[in-house]
Amino acid sequence: MNGAPGFVHVDAHCIVALKPAGLLAVPGRGEAGRDCLAARVQALHADALVVHRLDMATSGLMLFARGADAQRTLSRAFEQRRIHKRYVAVVAGRLAAPRGEIALPLGADWPNRPRQQVDALHGRPALTRWRVLDGDPANDAPNDTTRLELEPVSGRAHQLRVHLLAIGHPIVGDTLYAPPAIASRAPRLLLHASELGFAQPASGAALRFASSPPF
């Protein structure tokens, strides 16, 4: 999967790149884990630093800082929930309402790492907002699927995948969480980071980027 990253935006303080599904966001274990989006971006921009991650199975927009000062500024913006993030997913089943929220605490499923789980006792608060994308061809009654726009208000590991599973609508193609019959419906996880908005770390100018999902 070697190749140059797809750059959406590059300036003196930040970079937005497109991560394909199946590529690590940051280095993993062993020789196979060396190839990742961070390494590909850094091969062309040595000062690029990671400020957030996407799951290996997820595609879409990923933000990098250029230099330690920009990294601190952007990391703080993520912590303070001042980053605009939206995802698109195709889920199993038909939702009863046009929009809603999922507020369920999440924590690690330690015997089954890296899986996460809803954990009412020890989990950390997590909130996901969802909206049905009306008129989308993926809202297919015969195939029993719905396309959603998702907003992860919090940023827990695997939050979107676990929250949607918890309400009975796992993401199609999710081999980690969905039942086999739903996981096998697509060759990849049908989850894409489609919108990213933030303040440019030096000027404070509002920047917003969009990427159409490749499914």
As annotated, the active-site residues are 55
Residue 85, CA distances (Å) to 14, 82, 160, 184, 205 in order:
16, 9, 12, 27, 17
Q: Give the tokens for residue 111.
A: 């015997």
- Nearest in space to 211 (alpha carbons), one of 198, 203, 92, 197: 197
Cβ neighbours around 7 below 10 Å, total: 13
Count CA within 13 A, CB hemisphere, residue 170: 17
Distance CA(57)–CA(25), nearest Å, equals 10
| Cα torsion angle, 110, 114, 120, 124, sign | positive
